[in-house]
Structure 1
Amino acid sequence: MYGLLRHFLLKTDPEKAHEMTLSMLAKSQKMGVAGLLYDHVELPTMCMGLHFRNPVGLAAGLDKNGEYIDALAALGFGFIEIGTVTPKPQDGNPKPRLFRIEEQKAIINRMGFNNKGVDYLINQVKHSQFQGILGINIGKNASTPVENALDDYLYCLERVYPFASYITVNISSPNTKNLRDLQSGEALTALLNGIKNRHSQLATQHQYYVPLVLKVAPDLDESQIDYIAKELIQFEIDGLITTNTTLSRHGVEDYPTSQEAGGLSGSPLSAMSTQILAQFAEQLDDKVALIGVGGIDNGQKAVNKIQAGASLVQLYSGLIYEGPKLIGDCVESIEQFGLN
């Protein structure tokens, strides 16, 4: 079915195509059709103390507001991550802000955390029927100075804690000014210290533990990787998602669209993100769970992430080009290679 739609969707404005696809998916789910279109491959996986139906999940960004949780679950994901959500609603960056490079199965975006705010997202989660693993990805408002970023993260953390299977702290988007400064030095230490202290209080208050995950960029050098790894261990962060989009244009330099500002995702990111994942795996020595994302558009690339040290993988851009069949292909490839 997706094969029939793909040609039309790729001829449509990327952001409109995104909205149209989600709308069609929601309608098919309500009709009871969505779950019949694709195989639901089971490959039970334990990670961060949670039971996943399979190790292939949806990355944050596709469903920023949690409006399509049930529809997306019908496609066979082992887990779903929604957001990035901020304390207050915000429009994000001016349009156009989403661009395809079809020849390389790549996407450039500068969305800028466009979302309807954390309270709206929570309301959507409350009305969802999904019983699986739900990650909620939190960020800061563009209007909040980076030196006050902790306030925004704590605001979101407190509100989403009762509704999340795990919570991801996103400090790696290139589309919010100075956000990536939080990945380094004293800024990272202060942020993790503040978040972990409040997280511990919330675990006591609610009498159950929700794993805490950090999401980082692929544009890190060895010293940054080393520092982040040590901080993750020190503050007992449960998981690390590697990676977000890249500012690099390696592999797409010859395409006019590559000059657009924003983060590059899709196939050209695959090798870079897997390399960063492997470097973190070496540093962390199984003390922190790793979730691999970036450039997975076939089963072998999912296997590559697992081989590099990931326990779970996530998809986004690959879905745009390959469709939901990619989910089952990745699960089956991981199972076939006996790496789970």
Structure 2
Amino acid sequence: MIYPLLRKLFFALDAETAHGVGMAGIDFVNSAGISCLLARRVAPDPVRVMGLEFPNPVGLAAGLDKNGEHVDALAAQGFGFIEVGTVTPRAQPGNPKPRLFRIPERQAIINRMGFNNDGVEKLLSNIVAARFAREGGVLGINIGKNFDTPIEKAADDYLLCLDRVYSAASYVAVNISSPNTKNLRELQRDDALDALLASLKGAQARLADRHGKYVPLALKIAPDLDDAQIQAIATLLRQHRMDGVIATNTTLSRAGVDGLPNAEQTGGLSGAPLLALSTAVIAKLAAALAGEVPIIGVGGIMNGDDAAAKVAAGASLVQFYTGFIYRGPELVAEAAAAIARRRAQHSLRTA
């Protein structure tokens, strides 16, 4: 495969510069009609989740394409669904650079991007220009709050974004778990989360009437939760009849990378060291939700077995971002094949 050679070039660059170069490269191979040079064909493995039909259960996590500028090119890599964002009502630059750091010894990344994006109106214009959603692709839009919006007013930002993206999205992901926006994770507390979910579900009902279609809502949560917090969140997800939960975002833990270069950087850790923690959260959520709310598993997927482990823990769909950086497009087909094998084996055992 070509990607291992390309990765050597990318990793010689600053991480954020490499990201821009890589996205430009994916756009080029797509426009030239040669995406097959990077990605293997992904066999169809349709699954119905949140009332939506996914051609395969492997998706791209939010963060790689914050502004929806590369949707068609990324879809050509074989993903069953694409999630863009996190988008905020107004454009914002994010945290000062440098803010993205590799830890290659552990296939990990630390980021403190801070929801850098061009704002919801720019994202919408980019999505309108893309073919993916128009041609039936499953497009998630991940929404957040502006950094300078007081936490007590955060719901206003989420409601504004939901209103603006509703008609363009297949589903909307509500990001309350980034560690890089001050106080954002306070929204995971019982009282704050109860109020936020009530507001969002009320708005969803009104928007469904207005637009004549129901767009599912999924909540994205952190891995840094104790058992009581996971149980409380599960109770609220069931109570408010949320359509999905994305588990998990990046972690503040440095377990598995302590002492390595860049491990001291502040921000959220993703990649291989997150796998066990995020999968454990999925398993606990699955037990607490009892099948009432589907789970999208994300965090630490670096190979097919990791993806299958998320499904075994209770996820209906999986996503990755850091794995795509380290492994490239071949990981999409590998993950899809591993999940398909796992499901086939499970069906045989239960037949």
The counterpart of 2:203, out of the listed 168, 173, 198, is: 198
Match of 1:301?
306
Match of 2:181?
176
In structure 1, the gaps of 5 or more residues are none
The counterpart of 1:264, out of the listed 269, 274, 278, is: 269
> Is residue 278 from structure 1 mapped to residue 283 from structure 2 by the alignment?
yes
Deviations 1:103-131, CA, capped at 9 Å, x for gaps:
00000000000000000000001010003
Q: Which amino acid aligns with 1:207?
A: G
Q: CA deviation at 1:186?
A: 0.9
> Is residue 235 from structure 1 mapped to residue 240 from structure 2 by the alignment?
yes
> Is residue 134 from structure 1 mapped to residue 139 from structure 2 by the alignment?
yes
Instruction: Determine helix, strand or coil for the equivalent of 2:195.
Output: helix
Deviations 1:218-269, CA, capped at 9 Å, x for gaps:
0001111111001101111000000000000000012131110000000000
Match of 2:63?
61
- Moved beyond 3 Å, runs of 4+: none
Measure the CA separation in 2 of the matches of 1:224 and 1:332: 34
Cα RMSD (Å): 0.9
Q: Which amino acid aligns with 2:140?
A: G
Match of 2:292?
287
The counterpart of 2:151, out of the listed 136, 146, 160, is: 146
What are the equivalent positions in structure 2 for 1:1-340 lying under 5 Å apart? 1-35=2-36, 37-41=38-42, 42-130=44-132, 131=135, 132-337=137-342, 338=344
Q: Which amino acid aligns with 2:70?
A: Y
Measure the CA separation in 2 of the matches of 1:15 and 1:256: 17
Deviations 1:279-298, CA, capped at 9 Å, x for gaps:
00000001001000000000
Q: Which amino acid aligns with 1:64?
A: K
Measure the CA separation in 1 of the matches of 2:166 and 2:326: 33
In structure 2, the gaps of 5 or more residues are none
TM normalised by structure 1 equals: 0.99
Measure the CA separation in 2 of the matches of 1:117 and 1:261: 25
* Count of residue pairs brought into register by the alignment: 340
Deviations 1:278-330, CA, capped at 9 Å, x for gaps:
00000000100100000000000000000000000001001111111000000
Instruction: Determine helix, strand or coil for the equivalent of 1:46.
Output: strand
Q: CA deviation at 1:36?
A: 5.3
Measure the CA separation in 1 of the matches of 2:340 and 2:113: 35
TM normalised by structure 2 equals: 0.96
Is the 2:103–2:261 contact (alpha carbons within 8 Å) kept by the matching residues of 1? Answer: no
Measure the CA separation in 1 of the matches of 2:339 and 2:248: 20
Q: CA deviation at 1:39?
A: 2.1
Q: CA deviation at 1:35?
A: 4.3
Instruction: Determine helix, strand or coil for the equivalent of 2:262.
Output: helix
Identity %: 56
Deviations 1:32-80, CA, capped at 9 Å, x for gaps:
1114542231111111111101000000000000000000000000000
Measure the CA separation in 2 of the matches of 1:201 and 1:244: 29
**Are residues 181 and 251 of structure 1, via their aligned partners in 2, closer, same or farther at CA, if it must alter by over 3 Å?**
same
Measure the CA separation in 2 of the matches of 1:84 and 1:321: 21
Deviations 1:73-98, CA, capped at 9 Å, x for gaps:
00000000000000000000000000
Q: Which amino acid aligns with 2:53?
A: H
Which segment is superposed worse, 200-209 or 211-220? 200-209
